Amino acid sequence: MIQVKDRLYDAQLFANYLPRDNPVLRLLPPSIAFESNNFGNGTDTKFGFDAIKGRNFRYMANTILNAGFIQFDNQFNKNLNSLHSYAGLDLSYESSHLEPKVDPEINNNTLNLKYYNFTNFEVGLHYLYSKMDKVFYPNSGTFIRAGVSRSLLNDVDAEFADPEKPYPGDGLKVKGSLNDFTKFNLDFEHRIPFTDKITGIFGANAAFIFGIL
């Protein structure tokens, strides 16, 4: 599977407002009225922004950021039994990029972000077993899926702007490898028919991430 996206968020409307009247803010020119220090928590005398929560947050992110995301998911499987089980190898690669549309040194953004890049490559093994009586809406049988994967490459490269310093320098740059991690997941489901119309479903799932701090 291959996914390529140029945006991570869909669009929703948003609005700026004043929870309480503030003549000082109302008289500011547009060039400085909407600077980050003029925004409050939505209940004080500073500007509020109702898109900061829920689905509406997506529009704000889509408005101020150029976002890119690419992912490759590949599986190589071997049938253990052509009717109900197989095992395989997973190869997963993802790369994401975020960058404000306006340089924060010109007009600072909410995240104080100049750019963010993240790359991750994982290798894993998986196993699937299914003895359900039907593919769709089964009444009886057992399903087991287990997998384990290991991150071999997880690099981050980011830089943040400091509104207090016109020349941030290297102190706000983050570049290097993150800690390697291992992921394990297990899904189990068993179905028992009580009557022709009632089926009991018993299941459990677990997922763990192990890393070195």
Q: Which of 13-22, 38-47, 84-93, 170-179 has the lowest mean pLDDT?
A: 13-22
What is the pLDDT averaged over residues 185-212?
91
What is the pLDDT averaged over residues 77-96?
90
Domain presence at residue 92: yes
Q: Which of 10-14, 136-140, 146-150 has the lowest mean pLDDT?
A: 10-14
**Cβ-based neighbour number of residue 200 at 10 Å:** 11
Domain presence at residue 15: no
Predicted pLDDT at 82? 81
Domain presence at residue 186: yes
pLDDT at 1 over 50: no
Q: Where are the beta strands (DSSP E) in the chain?
A: 2-5, 16-17, 48-49, 65-81, 85-100, 113-130, 141-160, 173-177, 181-193, 199-211
Domain presence at residue 58: no
Domain presence at residue 123: yes
What is the pLDDT averaged over residues 140-160?
91
Question: Which has more confidence, 27 or 91?
Answer: 91
Q: Which two tokens stand for residue 91?
A: 């190869």
Range of the domain at 191: 2-6+69-211
How far is Cα 41 from Cα 96, in angstroms, rounded to an integer? 30
Predicted pLDDT at 180? 84
Residue 192 corresponds to which amino acid? I
pLDDT in tens, 24-81: 777 777 667 667 777 777 677 777 766 444 444 444 555 556 777 788 889 899 999 8
Domain presence at residue 148: yes
Domain presence at residue 30: no
Q: Which two tokens stand for residue 53?
A: 């929560």
Q: How many domains does the chain have?
A: 1
The per-residue pLDDT of the chain, averaged, comes to 77
pLDDT in tens, 104-139: 666 655 567 778 899 999 999 999 999 998 888 889
